[in-house]
Structure 1
Amino acid sequence: MLPHPDIPHHPITCAVITVSDTRTPDSDRSGQMIQQLLDEAHHPILHYDLIRDEPDEIHHQVDLLCQQPDLYAIILNGGTGIAPRDTTYDAIERLLEKTLPGFGELFRSLSYQEIGSRAMASRAIAGIRNNTLIFSLPGSTNAVVLAMQKLILPELAHLTHQINPRP
């Protein structure tokens, strides 16, 4: 039994950002996978970008996107580990007005079932800024599929409706 009844499906306008110092639009399998899964679920993609793992660039791009009234969710991938160049978590965490700690907790739990104790190094995070959902995922294609299929797509409409109720 679900705690709240499901709301009718409606398209959620999204943005996809890949954070990487090495990928190109052609080699961005994870960004392509997010776009494909959103497309299959009939959620339009308003914006796609590939940016370097530089905190100021990440912060600036996400902040700009959160100012667009017709954008409801931003899904980032890459830069969530603990390596020195992994700065996405740090840039996103300081932007969030509200966090969804359950997202990271559930993601790491599901990841643990697939990859074992290495899941503890993931700094996947989600939250809200300016009534926009933000999800930050690892850059691994397997991690992207896991997060999208098990967590984000099943709850995207419900979470969006919680923030922006529609008649």
Structure 2
Amino acid sequence: MSRACILTVSDTRDLNTDKSGKLIAERLQHHGVTVMARHVVIDDIVDIQQQFLTFEQLGPDLIITNGGTGIAQRDVTITALTPLLPTMIPGFGEAFRELSFAEIGTRALASKAEAGFNNRNQLCYCLPGSTNACQTALDRLILPEFEHLLFERHK
């Protein structure tokens, strides 16, 4: 059974108001994934990196972040996590933006969503904070494919 940690990046949410983090946890659990931890941090590079590295040490198979993946000046999740993801999976971001374009049109171009493996070979997804975007990513990309990606990485 796979295990996951969920990190929400937001200046306005906490664990009680974090709809996207709750959705991610529920969808993962529905598919047999154990959610080990869920945390909310503000849009701050050091806070994001610190919590991400704390999650790494818990030993999950997956780390999923949501929030902070847009182009606003406060959106620093990708800036924070790119140095911690040495092996990127470019097809994830490309496919996500294509699916999003079909749903929301050209606004999808502002998304910097991405996926990759960290130094511990844990599969990491960086999703937008939108609940709809998280559901699209989970249902159309993550849940159908994460086990295969983990299998390939650990060959």
TM-score (norm 2): 0.96
52-61 vs 72-81, greater mean Cα deviation = 52-61
Q: Which residue of 2 aligns with 1:42?
A: 32
The answer to whether the aligner puts 1:124 opposite 2:113 as a matched pair is yes
* Displacement after TM superposition at 1:159 (Å): 1.0
Distance 2:95 2:80 in 1: 21
Q: Quick one: which of 72, 77, 95 aligns to 1:106?
A: 95
Which has the higher Rg, Structure 1 or Structure 2?
A: 1
Look up the match of 1:160: 150
Q: How far is the alpha carbon of 1:25 from its aligned partner? A: 1.2
d(CA) in 1 for partners of 2:62, 2:6: 9
Name the CA distance, whole Å, in 2 between partners of 1:75 and 1:55. 16
Give the aligned partner of residue 96 of structure 1.
85
Letter in 2 for 1:119: A
Q: Quick one: distance in 1 between partners of 2:18 and 2:154?
A: 31
Partner Cα separation in structure 2 for residue 28 and residue 73 of structure 1 = 19
Counterpart of 2:101 in structure 1: which amino acid?
Answer: Y
Q: Distance in 2 between matches of 1:26 and 1:48?
A: 11
Further displaced range: 108-117 or 153-162: 153-162
Q: Which residue of 1 aligns with 2:45?
A: 55
Is the Cα contact below 8 Å between 1:12 and 1:156 reproduced in 2? no
Unaligned runs of 5+ in 2: none
Letter in 1 for 2:102: Q
**How many residues are treated as equivalent by the alignment?**
154
Is the partner of 1:67 in helix, strand or coil? Answer: helix
Shift of 1:64: 2.5
> Cα RMSD over matched residues?
1.0
